[in-house]
Structure 1
Amino acid sequence: MDGAAAAAAAALELREAHRLAGHADRVWALAWNPAPGAGPVLASCGGDKTVRIWKRAPDGAWHCSDVLEDTHNRTVRSCAWSPDGRLLATASFDATTAVWEYNGGDFECVATLEGHENEVKSVSWSPSGSLLATCSRDKMAWIWEVQPGNEYECVSVLQGHTQDVKMVQWHPLLDILVSVSYDNTIRVWADDGDDEWHCVQTLTEANNCGHSSTVWAVSFNHKGDRMVTCSDDRTLKIWDTSADLSQPKTGEGHESWRHLSTLTGYHDRTIFSAHWSSEDIIASGAGDDAICLFAEEKSSMVEGPSYKLILKKEKAHDMDINCVRWCPQDPRLLASASDDGTVKLWELRGSVLD
């Protein structure tokens, strides 16, 4: 690294801007409301069986505006806003998924989805908002179709994983679903055009340079041509697809994900979360209490795309970091959630190196 590059790297800072306290147990997951609205709105959920809604006041201070409780009777493990920001889905260890609607200044639980045999680990909305995916320790992912009148119909039960499914995530542009599991694999699911959902690709250590241990999370870049996964093997893996994303929104032609890069040696313990910002910065949070930021290395000296560490924040929390999420309205604002019961908001300052 030359002198100018070193100076620029030193100027990059992840500064703690706010600490949001209120949960009485570990905080498992976070979700930013994607609607432009009046300002950023963050949902957090955790082991205290509640969901908290955080909003930024005109003076810049953050406060908890709503506490969603008395619906789930066990840990709330995951939360996700619909694309229009009108609905919030919450997944719980009580084997149910709840759907909340913001009406007249209050959140109302308008649907409870049942069917999984045990803990629901993750929930995700499709980009159109017409489908909802859930996954569970029962090794299955379910796809629900949104019906009129706040009704939800299960249209497919996806079987293929041999262990606990940790997370489901829809592609940002297409009705393509990715699931990751305790069985160390990543599965890509697509509709064949006749409302039949199939696994169109399985990424494994053996045939695709995949992970060697539990895969905890997956995130797409904003263009949808790359995704990042993170694992108990303490690596992040970048995947790339050459698929033509302008084609119709079906699984055809979109299953060819290939391994692009492995980021290793940056975390000392399990990496529980990874998230890709609209500015193409990947954040990761892990059991070593650290947050790492990565960006693509734009160097003609390197053959093909590669990624480099641009910042590591040691001891970002006092305990395991379970989730990191970039804010869609402010791409330099990062939220993190931890076993220490807090949510932190971080401001990324300085220029990211080219």
Structure 2
Amino acid sequence: MASAKIVQLQSLKPDLHERAWVSIPHPNLPLIATAHGKNVTVFSLSTLSLHSVLADGHSRSVRSVSWKPNLPPHNLCLITGSFDSSAGVWRWANGGDEGDDDSADGLGRDMTRGPGNEDSAKTGDWDYNLVLEGHDSEVKGCAFSPSGAYLATCSRDKSIWIWEDIASAESEDDWETIAVLNEHEGDVKAVAWCPDVPGRNNVGQRYYSVDVLASASYDNTARIWREDSDGEWVCVAVLQGHQGTVWGVEWEPRPKNDEFPRLMTFSADGTIRVWTLEQGKDGTDADGSTIPQDRLGGIPSTMRRSFREQWNCTAVLPKVHDKDVYSVTWSADSGLVASTGSDGIVALYKEDNDVVPNFQSAPEDNAPNDSARSNHDVSTVSGPQWQLLTTVPNAHGPYEINHITWCKRHDAGSMRRGEEEMLVTTGDDGVVQSWQVDVKAP
């Protein structure tokens, strides 16, 4: 069995001195954005210190952030989701001043902040360009699709809104609501778009768009959503089995053998589940039945029962947490998974590819109503398929840890800047902590 160590590196400075919710790395640049209080603090991963601050936008706490992908390095855009029921669109105000690009992170003078430069990180560096309104209660999560064309927001009002960026040369920020999804029966805690990886478009491409969205809810379920050929977003699967709030969803970032990405769900019941799409042949449903030629034509979305996908629970990770699992992160480089939550434990797992799944039917009480059963059949797998490599107890002392993420190392202590990975945890203590992960093969 492989062995591993998680070694504490330095925390990102300055400490925030209040509960911090999430830290989201930029998809390409050495930046990471942390939501705390009514603000977002952006840190440089090159200096592990303050880069800039987003403030004076929201009237209540900022709970989530998302970087808009596929933008030029000096055209930064961040979305913030807040307890004030709105999402904010922020843009870096110094986009035209690239300065001398001699820094290690390649961002130029205005984009790097080092120790002693905190005073230069003014809130005016970011413009609060637009407020996206529509939710009736706290916005818990926000996420961009891989292309950056769509934004999903979710809320305590039990809804998911999908927004399209329709900006033009005349207007840099112009957003349109294209769908409001109301099928969850409780707060929607998180949303995540399936990554743009090989195999993602092999299923349902005749009937659906390429974008796939997953959501997690207080109603103990996760759901899978797709856009049909009529431009309507429909729920194609309800993933049941958790015995508590599903706090989040995490897509497999790099599937093997061009298979459709798997999905992890993590819950207040202390478990982490892996879900796999059962892929049928083109022209048939996953159960082998022929897809009606008129499956789309004129049928109300609530009656489109042929819109379903079979998602099986193919693994349950080794039980580590005795309380809520708040966050899980899945590495695209190594395939390792790390988790954390209200018990303050950081756990590291490795998939055992030699174990063959043994499927068995889940108890009937996993499907509380006929409507849910019509969308999916729940199955589980017996036998461990994942190894627990190591744990770090009390990783933030007595405080809960709200988020964990893999990101690239760019700091001076890295032997391979931009290639080596580290973990970053974010907690109630207001500390954003980095960790080195060392794994030795058996």
Fold shared by both chains (TM-score > 0.5): yes
Confirm or deny that 1:332 pairs with 2:421: yes
2:154 to 106, 121, 135: 135
How far apart, in 1, do the equivalents of 2:140 and 2:331 lie?
23
Structure 2 residue matching 1:234: 3-state secondary structure: coil
How far apart, in 1, do the equivalents of 2:281 and 2:404 lie?
27
Change (3 A) 1:352 1:27: farther
Higher deviation after alignment, 330-339 or 182-191: 330-339
Aligned residue number for residue 302 of structure 2 = none
Aligned residue number for residue 109 of structure 1 = 128
Question: For 1:144-182, what per-residue CA distance to the aligned partner results, in whole angstroms no more than 9, with x for missing partners?
Answer: 000112111111000101111000111112411111100
Structure 1 residue matching 2:395: 3-state secondary structure: coil
Higher deviation after alignment, 125-134 or 255-264: 255-264
Q: Write out aligned runs for 1:245-284 (5 A).
A: 255-278=309-332, 279-284=334-339
Amino acid of the structure 2 residue aligned with 1:292 = A
Q: Which runs of 5+ in 1 are unaligned?
A: 205-209
Higher deviation after alignment, 227-236 or 327-336: 327-336
User: Does the CA-based 8 Å contact 2:189-2:216 persist in structure 1?
Assistant: yes
User: Does the CA-based 8 Å contact 1:185-1:215 persist in structure 2?
Assistant: yes
How far apart, in 1, do the equivalents of 2:231 and 2:161 lie?
14
Aligned residue number for residue 368 of structure 2 = none
Amino acid of the structure 2 residue aligned with 1:309 = L
Aligned residue number for residue 268 of structure 2 = 232
Aligned residue number for residue 244 of structure 2 = 213
How far apart, in 1, do the equivalents of 2:39 and 2:281 lie?
38
How far apart, in 2, do the equivalents of 1:255 and 1:168 lie?
19
Change (3 A) 1:330 1:116: farther
2:215 to 176, 179, 190: 179
1:90 to 58, 80, 84: 80
State the 1:99 CA deviation: 1.5
Higher deviation after alignment, 260-269 or 283-292: 260-269
How far apart, in 1, do the equivalents of 2:15 and 2:282 lie?
44
Amino acid of the structure 1 residue aligned with 2:340 = G
1:308 to 367, 384, 387: 387
User: Does the CA-based 8 Å contact 1:332-1:349 persist in structure 2?
Assistant: no
How far apart, in 2, do the equivalents of 1:343 and 1:228 lie?
24
Structure 2 residue matching 1:77: 3-state secondary structure: strand
Structure 1 residue matching 2:195: 3-state secondary structure: coil
1:33 to 26, 30, 48: 26
How far apart, in 2, do the equivalents of 1:115 and 1:253 lie?
28
Structure 2 residue matching 1:317: 3-state secondary structure: strand
User: Does the CA-based 8 Å contact 2:318-2:388 persist in structure 1?
Assistant: no
State the 1:138 CA deviation: 0.2
Aligned residue number for residue 206 of structure 2 = none
Aligned residue number for residue 294 of structure 1 = 349
User: Does the CA-based 8 Å contact 1:294-1:307 persist in structure 2?
Assistant: yes
User: Does the CA-based 8 Å contact 1:244-1:254 persist in structure 2?
Assistant: no
Amino acid of the structure 2 residue aligned with 1:256 = Q
How far apart, in 1, do the equivalents of 2:249 and 2:281 lie?
19
User: Does the CA-based 8 Å contact 1:30-1:42 persist in structure 2?
Assistant: yes
Confirm or deny that 1:62 pairs with 2:48: yes
Confirm or deny that 1:73 pairs with 2:55: no
1:18 to 10, 26, 45: 10
Change (3 A) 1:242 1:351: farther
Confirm or deny that 1:123 pairs with 2:142: yes
In angstroms, what is the RMSD of aligned CA positions?
Answer: 2.3
Change (3 A) 1:172 1:139: same
Q: TM-score, normalised by structure 2?
A: 0.70
Change (3 A) 1:226 1:254: farther
Amino acid of the structure 2 residue aligned with 1:221 = E
Change (3 A) 1:244 1:81: farther
User: Does the CA-based 8 Å contact 1:68-1:107 persist in structure 2?
Assistant: yes
Q: TM-score, normalised by structure 1?
A: 0.87
Structure 1 residue matching 2:244: 3-state secondary structure: coil
State the 1:302 CA deviation: 7.3
Aligned residue number for residue 348 of structure 1 = 437
Structure 2 residue matching 1:327: 3-state secondary structure: strand
Confirm or deny that 1:100 pairs with 2:94: no
Question: For 1:70-118, what per-residue CA distance to the aligned partner results, in whole angstroms no more than 9, with x for missing partners?
Answer: 0011111011112225321110001111111223142222221011001
State the 1:264 CA deviation: 4.6
How far apart, in 1, do the equivalents of 2:175 and 2:281 lie?
28
State the 1:237 CA deviation: 0.3
How far apart, in 2, do the equivalents of 1:244 and 1:29 lie?
37
How far apart, in 2, do the equivalents of 1:96 and 1:345 lie?
30
State the 1:229 CA deviation: 0.8
Amino acid of the structure 2 residue aligned with 1:94 = D
Confirm or deny that 1:159 pairs with 2:182: yes
How far apart, in 2, do the equivalents of 1:246 and 1:25 lie?
52
Higher deviation after alignment, 133-142 or 84-93: 84-93
| Percentage identity across paired residues of the two chains | 35
